[in-house]
């Protein structure tokens, strides 16, 4: 089963509109990449990664990728539409808000990340 099928299955079993994943084993299982945050409603998949991981993520997975960086520096043309100068939690909230979801299932590490 490909990762999209895995996501649809977990959404169906969990009765949620989307998932938000951050634990490394779960990221690998659902996206094929090992760092960042995955948001998916079964149709739209966004992987949010640290800016330093952007190139590797783009080589590794086929999902939509955005990168976050808390520090504003010059960006290359390659990065121009992918890099957001925001804290990761702010980018997560922006992505979720744009999806118009009612219920989001999260893995346990997310709760810790967002409370910091």
pLDDT per residue as tens, the chain (116 positions): 588 888 888 888 888 999 999 999 999 999 999 999 999 998 989 999 999 999 999 999 888 999 999 989 898 888 889 999 999 999 999 999 988 888 998 887 665 655 55
Predicted confidence (pLDDT) per residue in 85-108, tens digit: 999 999 999 999 988 888 998 887
pTM for this one? 0.85
CB-based burial, 27-58: b 16+ in 10 Å, e otherwise:
beebbebebbbbbbbbeebbbbbebebbeebb
**Cβ count within 10 A of residue 5:** 10
The CATH architecture annotation of domain 3-115 reads 3-Layer(aba) Sandwich (3.40)
In whole angstroms, what is the distance from residue 108 CA to residue 105 CA? 10
């Amino acid at each position: 089963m490909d990762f999209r099928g895995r996501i649809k299955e977990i959404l169906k079993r969990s009765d949620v509109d989307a998932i938000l994943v951050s634990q490394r084993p779960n990221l690998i299982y659902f996206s094929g990449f090992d760092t960042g945050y995955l948001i998916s409603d079964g149709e739209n998949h966004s992987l949010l990664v640290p800016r330093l991981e952007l190139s590797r993520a783009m080589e590794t997975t086929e999902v939509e990728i955005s990168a976050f960086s808390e520090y504003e520096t010059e960006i290359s043309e390659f990065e121009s539409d992918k890099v957001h100068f925001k804290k990761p939690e702010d980018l997560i909230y922006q992505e979720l808000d744009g999806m118009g979801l009612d219920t989001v299932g999260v893995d346990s590490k997310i709760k810790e990340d967002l409370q910091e």
